[in-house]
Chains A and B, each alone.
Chain A
Amino acid sequence: MARWVRLAIILVLAAQHPALAQSSTGGFVGVVVDIMTGEPVAGALVSLIARPAGVPPPPRSAQTNTEGLFVFVGVPEGRWRVQVQKSGFFVVGANGQAPEVEIRAASVVEGVIQVDRGGAIAGRMVDAKGSPVSEVFVTAVPRIPSGDRAAGPLPSTGNAQTNDLGEFRLSGLPPGEYYLVGRPRPLPTATGAVAIPVVVVQSYYPGVADQAQAAPLVVTRGVTTSAPDWRMLAIIRPSRAGDAVAASPQRAPAPQRATGPRRRVSGVVLDPDGRLAPGARVELVPVDRQTVPGAPLVTTARPDGTFLIGNVPAGTYLVDAMLASRLEASRVHRVVVENADVTGLTIAIVR
């Protein structure tokens, strides 16, 4: 099944176009076509994005005209990633990876980019009281089949922000299974000496902090899958005395002693620009009487920006993160470890 996965992007090295040729730059011309109807797609935004290696040139964009055509001239030599943005469509490519194009000096590459109508997920985000939650960033993360881990993590597809009614719609999703992740804006609620520790908890559909407990949604071509009443776990809570973090759906009323079982604390670190911050130093400092006083538990965020601190006794901790290269740190977060692992923490480093 799924024939649409087959052919991706046809890139043919064309004859030289002297008019477009320059010393160290080349050109890229092509057409964006709807694979099902064969019709050109007008108004698609085609972008050339440099690969991470080397000094990244700024991305360049062109919009297709009514015949679906686009043209880039004076593009620096090298391999570029091709991204196509058009509401309701996705690029037919291998494994959800963006196609690439090799630009050579004094020549023009011609390409046919095939796009297909994807499926959509529409829903509404509410808080514990059932009131709509607006301005939450929603992303669909493809579910990786367990036997296919070697392929590496698939990029998250599509993102949207909830509107004033808490509604969102993600379209142009390749058919498959997805987890929905909602991330509140990682902003502090106070500055300066009065800064209040905050914990930002991301929420997976239908309202859990852990991806393992999340319900995947099936997306079919041309169909809108409904995700009603998605419960946002916590927006940003000031952690005042005695205030626990709702990071686990089944937490015990009383914290356990340090002699009890050990848990894991995990999440992601974001830099001041909101990007994942690999290499950031994450520190877990025990602060309450239930916890045996001792050295802080320290780890370094992994290359994907996530972190995990294992072997954590139950108790209350302050969590903070710091960038290795710079003197920038996050606000201090407060987290309560009880009878379950604490997952989905988002620690934002601020300037």
Chain B
Amino acid sequence: MVRLLALVLILPLAGCLERHVRRDASTAATQTSSSARVTGRVLDAGTGEPIAGVRASLASAARVSLPRLLPEIQTDADGVFTFGDLPPGSWRVHVQKRGYYYGTAGQPPVIEVVEGAATTVTILLERGGAVTGRVLDSRGLPVGDLWVTALQPVQRPDGTIMSMERATERTNDLGEFRLAGLPPGDYYVVARLRVPPFTETPLPSKTMFVETYYPGAAGITAASPVVVTLGATTQSIDFQMRSAAAYHVLGVAVDARGRPAAGARILLSHGRAGTITTIFDGTAEANGTFRIVNVPEGTYRVQADVLVVTRSGTGSSTSAWFHGAPVEIFVQGGDVTGVRVTAGQP
């Protein structure tokens, strides 16, 4: 009884798929188990050598169901991983390894898993390029604990350019960073202050480090691109962090009838589509007021959003955000007070 046991489907993609996902016709004719299995092999596209220690996971590729993730496993010394006892269906194979990327296929392959069958998939990963450098302050001293990100400009179908975040690393105690696994191309390198989650309200500072693009620009338009080539390291991307005076922004969030919007989510952000950075994400007080400290000079948008949770009779609940109209503010030379934003209306 010959059955079609291995069927590897690929997402509709441009580029040379043949090179990156081979269809392996190897089937397990002697397999007696009724549950399906997927065996994957991960190889270096450049050398053909197996890659050990690659994290692999499967997510349901079915459009209707919610993404279902299986526990993560990893490849052995032969670059092989196996998911056993797998429910049949379409699965997307996610693999991840420092310094590598999916190659021109660009995304994880999708496989069809058939009841009682063993499916084999070979995934070729490309060793990307890297960018290394150092971030210093105005005195020439290293700045540690910054987040440095490699942004790749990508053209969207409507012709506009957006920046894709390809890698983010923290600077070490010497201010050094290394961004690896980058597909070849032009990149913008940006350093930002690390804002850890769940921190207390910070105390005011007189000056703040502000987002700095290599070689020292305030924005992406004035930044210099960094060229990355396949498998090579672009070195000495050193730059100085910019500082700016920091001020307070005080205001009140109200509803459509001018009453205080207690507990509204207050967002302060800047930048344009694709490179929006949120400076503050907090909550309005019971009287609708908010106070944002450490805002460097610049143009920002302030917005008040309201979360509404609706409970149905069956006990399930749904929630929705109602976004308020953004108000543009200009911070220069002093604190900004009396900002009035209208919260989102349910």
Contacts and interface: CB of A to CB of B under 8 A. Distances in A.
A87 B171 contact: yes
B200 A191 contact: no
Contacts of B130: 164
Contact of A192 (B76, B83, B100, B174): B83
B94 to A, nearest CB: 14
Contact of B73 (A58, A72, A191): A191
B203 A235 contact: no
B235 interface: no
Interface string A317-351: 00000000000000000000000000000000011
A51 interface: no
Interface string B35-73: 101000000000000001101000000000000001111
Given A120-B173, A190-B83, A193-B85, A88 B74 contact: no
A172 interface: yes
Contacts of B99: 134, 163-165
Given A65-B205, A71-B203, A192-B86, A88 B173 contact: yes
B85 A66 contact: no
A191 B193 contact: no
B180 A164 contact: yes
A236 B37 contact: no
Contacts of A133: 53
A63 B202 contact: yes
B120 interface: no
B81 interface: yes
A189 B200 contact: no
A322 B74 CA distance: 22
A193 to B, nearest CB: 5
Interface residues of B, number: 51
B172 interface: yes
Contacts of B202: 62-63, 65
A135 B80 CA distance: 17
Given A65-B202, A185-B74, A43 B193 contact: yes
A191 B97 contact: no
A236 B53 contact: yes
B120 to A, nearest CB: 13
Contacts of A60: 198, 200
Interface string A52-92: 00000010111101110111110000000000001111000
A31 B206 CA distance: 16
B204 interface: yes
Given A65-B294, A87-B172, A184-B53, A135 B200 contact: no
A191 B84 contact: yes
Given A66-B206, A69-B203, A185-B74, 8 more contacts: A88-B173, A164-B100, A188-B74, A190-B73, A193-B33, A194-B85, A235-B53, A238-B78
Interface of A: 42-43, 45, 58, 60-63, 65-67, 69-73, 86-89, 120, 133-135, 163-165, 169, 171-172, 184-185, 187-196, 198, 235-238, 350-351
24 contacts: A60-B198, A67-B205, A72-B200, A73-B200, A88-B173, A89-B173, A164-B130, A164-B180, A171-B174, A184-B53, A189-B80, A189-B81, A190-B73, A190-B83, A190-B84, A191-B84, A192-B83, A193-B35, A196-B76, A196-B82, A236-B77, A237-B77, A238-B76, A351-B71
Interface of B: 33, 35, 37, 52-53, 55, 70-78, 80-86, 97-100, 130, 144-145, 171-174, 178, 180-181, 193, 195-196, 198-208, 294
Q: 9 nearest interchain CB pairs?
A: A192-B84, A164-B99, A88-B173, A87-B144, A192-B85, A194-B84, A190-B82, A171-B173, A87-B173
